[in-house]
A and B are shown apart, each in its own frame.
Chain A
Amino acid sequence: MPILALLIAWFWSTPAMAHKPSDSYLSFTVRDQVVSGQWDIALRDLDYAIGLDADGDGAITWGELKGRHDAIVAYALGHLRVSSGGQPCATHAEEQLVDRHTDGTYTVLRFSVRCAARVPRLVLHYDLFFDLDAQHRGLWRAEYEGQTQIGIFATDHREHTLALDAPSRLAEFLDYGREGVWHIWIGYDHILFLLSLLLPAVLWRSGGHWVPVPGFRPALTEVVKVVTAFTLAHSVTLSLAVLKVIALPARLVESAIAASVLLAALNNLYPLVTARRWLVAFGFGLVHGLGFASVLLDLGLPRGSLALALLAFNLGVEGGQLAIVTAFLPLAYGARHTVLYARMVFQGGSLAILVLAALWLVERGLDLKLL
């Protein structure tokens, strides 16, 4: 065997010097049911596999590469199978670009993958070049819901699973929960409405005057009643609106919310309803729920886990609300005997809220910009 005889002396040293071996780079971005991919494949490898150098001069030009774009698509996508739930997904090639990597030029094939059903896992089966180069590797990474998964395809590891479930469900849940908290914090109208109802909770209406409550218990009971009623009410309308059972124009809803704040503040200054304030909280809470719903609908809802997102958002809203109440109640209770509380906080605060809510009402009702 003359060829092997020739080989002997080359073993004199181990190959400490080397080029970069053959790798391709696959990246996926997953959004809803659409998986978009980008695949960087070395021109040298493609030339060896399917021939790119049409004129055989040892140089690959853009013209030669373009002429083989269809062949590259057929070859490459023929060696990448994506399936979900046992059903193959369809791959569609999009544009083809080029990119210079440190070891040479790569073709950049962009493609999309569509699967019939949304399932928690995508199975990727890769066998590009393995029949030709047993040391080829496919380095993949996938971005999904802010999480990155990576892996390496090799001759003895051609299948990988892209997980689209547990960690991302949790992440999704947390995301929507965070949005709920955020919305109550930046939604001044909701906070002010709640405050308007809570400010009198440490006071008592007696003989046409506000007097401090004698103990903590009645104050707490009042707060719990108000908050629970508000929560129940807005949860109901939030769900109904998100499920598209009811739909009202945003301008109407926003104006009604402003009006609710205005009336709640006015009721502190010129009391009409002094007992059963929870009924007020419930009634206006229905309107506020519609306001939350418009935020949630703007965020976009996951088709697969709508109920979960709804629950998470709602829990977030309640959590944010609870934080406000927890901070408010002890302070108000402690200050209830002071003139500062009665005059400045209760009356002054209610008046300020009233003015602000009136401005909102004008703005929203007439679609003006005053503030």
Chain B
Amino acid sequence: MQGLRGRPIRKGLAILLAVIGFTRPLGATPFIPERDADILERLPTMLGGGSGELRQLRDQLARAPTDAARAVAVAGRYIELGQGQSDPRYYGYAQAALAPWWGLSDPPAEVLFLRAAIRQSRHEFDPALQDLSRLLEKDPRDPRAWLMQAVIFIVRADYQAARQACEALARLRRAFLAFSCMGSVASLVGQARGGYDLLQLAEAQSQNATLGERVRLETLLGKTAERLGDWGRAEGHFQEAQRLSPHDAYLLGAYADFLLDQGRAAEVVALLREETRVDGLLLRLTLAEREIGAPGKDAHIEDLRARFAASRQRGDNLHQGDEARFLLHLLDQPKAALTLAQANWAVQREPRDARILLEAALASAQPEAARPALEMLERTKLEDTALRRLANELQAKR
């Protein structure tokens, strides 16, 4: 069929959607608002700069689109905004700013770094790693490249490679980054206690760290304490992170998952009530609403359905893990959830990804399907109370 691009699986999905009569995924009936004063849309507020900042950046670029230094500065700011707000549009703006260099096999170092960041954001891990290797060939002392490498390896559960990247950071005497990096890896390979201590060492070195860095570190500490079963300490870290940056999506997602597991759904509703624009947070809000029987649940389920459908129609595969949770817990479709959880597992393998795979395998009574995740648990000795409980249930059924 004309116009469908991308990998076969995407093409397959798109055709499937076309076949089942997928029409306009969103929106109802177009209308004409009644009053001129009706507010149709609120624009996102910028971190730091005012709402005019975006336009300034755009205009700067428009005046000299081939000025590499300016393009890098503008793209960097966009990516920062994108990370702060979990908004993929900014990555798109950054990519557009880098357009003159985007297709080059050997662009300038700063472009390589930003291109890797944008690719990583789209879960295009292989090309991102290629850019990072090339960047490290040019400058083996670039800590950003080592760190981003470590993060990608962690997401893929390649802990050996991640550890090497962390060691490179240590050799560069970047204490804060090295401790954070080592601590993250350790906490996932059966040394959660030691990992927690390393992360605390990093915290002690964080006097020069940025706000964003500290929020991430607190969130990591919270997640590690949670996996260790130390609920009180975990909550302390999540709250501290929230105090530092109340709307950080990564933190809110981790905190909400923690509260949901604690059976504190009402608090999740309070935490996420205003965060419905971020898909992953809307999912957690809706899960909590279902727990307490809140009336907004059904509308939110429909919203989620439309958003996942839109993402698929676009050909993205960024939200398979979340969509699997949606299918399993909100639509009660364990088989479909399992398929997505497996596809997600092929791309990323963090504890959260193992969790949905185990849950879906259990719910659809296909314990064999959970095998890759169980093997990883076995191999890494990952400590995670929730995962261990699920694994035991599955082992009992095999």
Residues of chain B with a CB closer than 8 A to A22's CB: 88-89, 92
Shortest A325–chain B CB gap in Å is 40
Residues of chain A with a CB closer than 8 A to B92's CB: 21-22, 132-136
Closest to A42 in B: B41
Identify which of B36, B41, B120, B306 gathers the most chain A CB atoms within 10 Å of its CB. Answer: B41
Q: Is B270 an interface residue (CB 8 A)?
A: no
Q: Is A189 an interface residue (CB 8 A)?
A: no
B43 & A53 in contact (Cβ 8 Å cutoff):
yes
A23–B4 alpha-carbon span in the complex (Å): 15
Stretch at the interface among B52-60, B226-234, B373-381: B52-60
Interface size range of chain A in the complex:
35 or more
A152 & B42 in contact (Cβ 8 Å cutoff):
no
Shortest A26–chain B CB gap in Å is 10
Q: Name B's interface SS.
A: helix
A16–B284 alpha-carbon span in the complex (Å): 13
Q: Which of A46-91 contact B (CB under 8 A)?
A: 47-48, 51, 53, 56, 58-63, 65-66
A97–B83 alpha-carbon span in the complex (Å): 33
Closest to B65 in A: A131
Residues of chain A with a CB closer than 8 A to B82's CB: 15
Stretch at the interface among B22-30, B187-195, B235-243, B326-334: B22-30
Q: Which of A117-150 contact B (CB under 8 A)?
A: 130-137, 139-141, 148-150
Q: Is B264 an interface residue (CB 8 A)?
A: no
**Number of B interface residues in the complex (CB < 8 A):** 104
Closest to B304 in A: A102
Closest to B122 in A: A135
Q: Which of A88-102 contact B (CB under 8 A)?
A: 97-102
Q: Is B280 an interface residue (CB 8 A)?
A: yes
B279 & A18 in contact (Cβ 8 Å cutoff):
yes
Identify which of B26, B39, B252, B281 gathers the most chain A CB atoms within 10 Å of its CB. Answer: B26
Contact code string A333-352 (vs B, CB < 8 Å = 1, else 0): 00000000000000000000
Contact code string B333-362 (vs A, CB < 8 Å = 1, else 0): 000000000000000100010000000000
Contacts A/B (CB < 8 Å), 23 sampled: A3-B77, A3-B80, A4-B113, A10-B216, A11-B151, A15-B88, A19-B87, A43-B41, A44-B41, A45-B89, A47-B43, A60-B40, A61-B40, A62-B35, A62-B36, A99-B30, A103-B307, A104-B41, A131-B99, A134-B99, A141-B24, A150-B3, A154-B5
Which residues does A use to contact B, with CB under 8 Å? 1, 3-4, 6-23, 25, 27, 38, 40, 43-45, 47-48, 51, 53, 56, 58-63, 65-66, 97-106, 108, 130-137, 139-141, 148-154, 157, 160-161, 163
Q: A15-B82, A17-B249 are in contact. List 7 more A-B contacts (CB 8 A).
A: A8-B213, A15-B121, A19-B86, A48-B93, A133-B93, A157-B5, A161-B2
- Among all A-B residue pairs, the 5 with the closest Cβ atoms: A151-B3, A63-B36, A9-B213, A135-B92, A134-B95
